[in-house]
């Protein structure tokens, strides 16, 4: 009998409340302490100096999206005189592409934009984002500006711990678990021999422990088995290569100890010991939008959030909004967005039911938005050293460390999600999105660049955003 994909029963919800459906430690089988619980109300207070500094920054970027591309670049050159912005248009040289992947024949270029108003832990960031979809950067920028006017985003991270797994089959599970636990200290020392460069940088293997796995598929014909987790501080690297090397290196010794067969030896992208969190706190007065009172906006946002927690069909789209922001910034910064996607969605399903990645609450006349995700980012190694655009985007951000990169990504994801559910709850998603998407429609219809704004207004008046309406506009212009 097939197991249903979704089993979100009342019993599940009672056993695992929505607020706690996260981050169970595989070692102790208890919930990890949330980073968000470490944020206090005082963390959202801002100094008068911060307010003054950010007012100046916001003034510089006021109307940024309306300016010609050359003017946008001039402002970035003013702020970052050491950055060669011409590299933005140069792209990836073919000889570099050929070194990065197999069978290279060309490159795919995504538009690269910036979200200029992100304030994170008191520091200002101009966040690069690479995405083909209109409205993503506009939405993130709008919310970043709103949050920057109200204390900014607050963020925290755990250490840079990555987990690899060694699957041990054909073992007596109980005795294998005992033997590995008893040799934990010796195994950690042996595993560190496979990551000496990390050890020299202050990292290395921190823990090794076994887990008992009970079969869920074809359980009647299969025996329980053991998986050994190896937790490693990978420092500033994303860490996949490091922890995979350790897993493969230590596997024969583990198999010898338990008299079993080593099967898979690979990292887990569900990096629960490597998490980052971001949060904002907005007073009702700051939430007034589109003629709707701020308290009502907060109430409607809560309704949208509850919908995502209650229903996996809605949660999938809700969380896609989070990843619109995270992926766009991750791609621009050369991060492994596929690993980030896998980790975030796995975390959203912990506890047996897929729900909202973000969390919202109302407290003392404020709307609080929160996002905490397991996420692996790197500031060193991999494609970061070969792709010229990654070097440039990291320079724009001031060469952030791995934890700061994760915090920026989480803040962008939270901003993007809040923008989406606010629009959905107040006016519907299509009005704003289609107004921005109209530029692509105009281009597809052959509207000259100098007439695109006029064509967009024409489509908005007709409330039709399609190629036929753009072509109607062209015919009207031709006959006038």
273 is catalytic: no
Catalytic residue among 31, 46, 133, 310: 133
Within 13 Å of residue 456, how many CA atoms lie on the same side as its CB?
17
Catalytic residue among 231, 309, 336, 372: 336
Q: Are 470 and 461 in contact (CB under 8 A)?
A: no
Catalytic residue among 43, 149, 295, 320: 320
Q: Are 241 and 183 in contact (CB under 8 A)?
A: no
Q: Tell me, rounded to whole angstroms, the distance of Cα 408 from its chain centroid.
A: 9
β-pair partners for 231? 163, 207
359 is catalytic: no
Helix (H) or strand (E) holding 8: none
Tokens describing residue 329: 């910034």
What whole-number distance in Å separates Cα of residue 243 and Cα of residue 237?
A: 11
What whole-number distance in Å separates Cα of residue 218 and Cα of residue 412?
A: 42
73 is catalytic: no
Length of the chain: 480
| Bridging pattern class, strands 112-120 and 161-169 | unpaired
Q: Are 397 and 412 in contact (CB under 8 A)?
A: no
Starting at the edge strand that comes first in sequence, how are the strands of the sheet with 225-233 ordered?
204-213, 225-233, 161-169, 261-268
Q: Are 238 and 336 in contact (CB under 8 A)?
A: yes
Angle at 412 between CA 408 and CA 413, to 5 degrees: 115
Tokens describing residue 175: 């005795």
Angle at 446 between CA 441 and CA 451, to 5 degrees: 85
Q: Are 374 and 342 in contact (CB under 8 A)?
A: no
Angle at 453 between CA 479 and CA 59, to 5 degrees: 155
345 is catalytic: no
Catalytic residue among 318, 366, 394, 433: 433
Question: How many other C-beta atoms can be found within 10 angstroms of the C-beta atom of residue 69?
Answer: 9
What whole-number distance in Å separates Cα of residue 393 and Cα of residue 325?
A: 16
Q: Say which residues have a Cβ less than 8 Å from residue 33's Cβ, sequence separation at least 6.
A: none
Catalytic positions are: 133, 320, 336, 433
């Amino acid at each position: 009998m097939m197991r249903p994909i979704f089993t979100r029963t009342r019993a599940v919800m009672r056993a695992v409340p929505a607020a706690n459906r996260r981050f169970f430690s595989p070692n102790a089988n208890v919930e990890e302490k949330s980073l968000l619980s470490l944020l206090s109300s005082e963390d959202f207070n801002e100094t008068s100096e911060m307010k003054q500094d950010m007012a100046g920054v916001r003034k510089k970027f006021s109307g940024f999206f309306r300016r010609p591309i050359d003017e946008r670049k001039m402002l970035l050159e003013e702020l970052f005189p050491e950055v060669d912005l011409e590299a933005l248009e140069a792209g990836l040289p073919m000889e570099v592409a050929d070194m990065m992947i197999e069978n290279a024949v060309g490159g795919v270029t995504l538009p690269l934009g910036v979200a200029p108003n992100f304030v994170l832990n008191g520091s200002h960031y101009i966040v690069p984002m690479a995405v083909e979809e209109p409205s993503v950067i506009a939405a993130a920028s709008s919310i970043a500006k709103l949050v920057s006017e109200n204390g900014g985003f607050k963020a925290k991270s755990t250490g840079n711990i990555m987990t690899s797994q060694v699957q041990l089959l054909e073992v007596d599970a109980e005795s294998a678990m005992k033997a590995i636990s008893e040799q934990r200290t010796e195994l950690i020392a042996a595993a560190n021999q496979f990551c000496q460069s990390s050890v020299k940088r202050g990292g290395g293997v921190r823990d090794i422990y076994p887990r008992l796995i009970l079969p869920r598929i074809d359980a009647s014909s299969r025996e329980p088995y053991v998986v050994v987790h190896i937790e490693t501080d990978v420092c500033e690297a994303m860490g996949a290569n490091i922890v995979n090397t350790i897993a493969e290196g230590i596997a024969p010794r583990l198999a010898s100890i338990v008299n079993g067969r080593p099967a898979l030896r690979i990292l887990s992208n569900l990096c629960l010991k490597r998490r980052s969190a971001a949060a904002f706190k907005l007073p009702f007065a700051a939430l007034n939008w589109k003629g709707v009172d701020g308290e009502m906006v907060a109430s409607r946002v809560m309704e949208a959030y509850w919908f995502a927690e209650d229903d996996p069909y809605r949660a999938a789209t809700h969380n896609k909004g989070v990843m619109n922001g995270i992926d766009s910034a991750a791609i621009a910064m050369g991060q492994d967005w596929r690993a980030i996607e896998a980790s975030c969605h796995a975390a959203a399903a912990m506890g047996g039911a897929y729900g909202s990645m973000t969390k919202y609450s109302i407290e003392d006349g404020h709307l609080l938005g929160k996002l905490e995700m397991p996420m692996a980012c790197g500031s060193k190694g991999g494609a970061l050293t070969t792709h010229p655009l990654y070097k440039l985007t990291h320079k724009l951000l001031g060469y952030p460390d791995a934890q700061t990169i994760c915090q920026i990504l989480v803040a962008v994801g939270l901003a993007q999600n809040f923008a989406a559910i606010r629009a959905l709850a107040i006016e519907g998603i299509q009005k704003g999105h289609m107004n921005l998407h109209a530029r692509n429609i105009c281009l597809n219809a052959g509207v000259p660049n100098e007439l695109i704004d006029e064509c967009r207004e024409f489509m908005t008046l007709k409330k039709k955003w399609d190629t036929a309406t753009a072509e109607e506009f062209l015919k009207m212009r031709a006959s006038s």
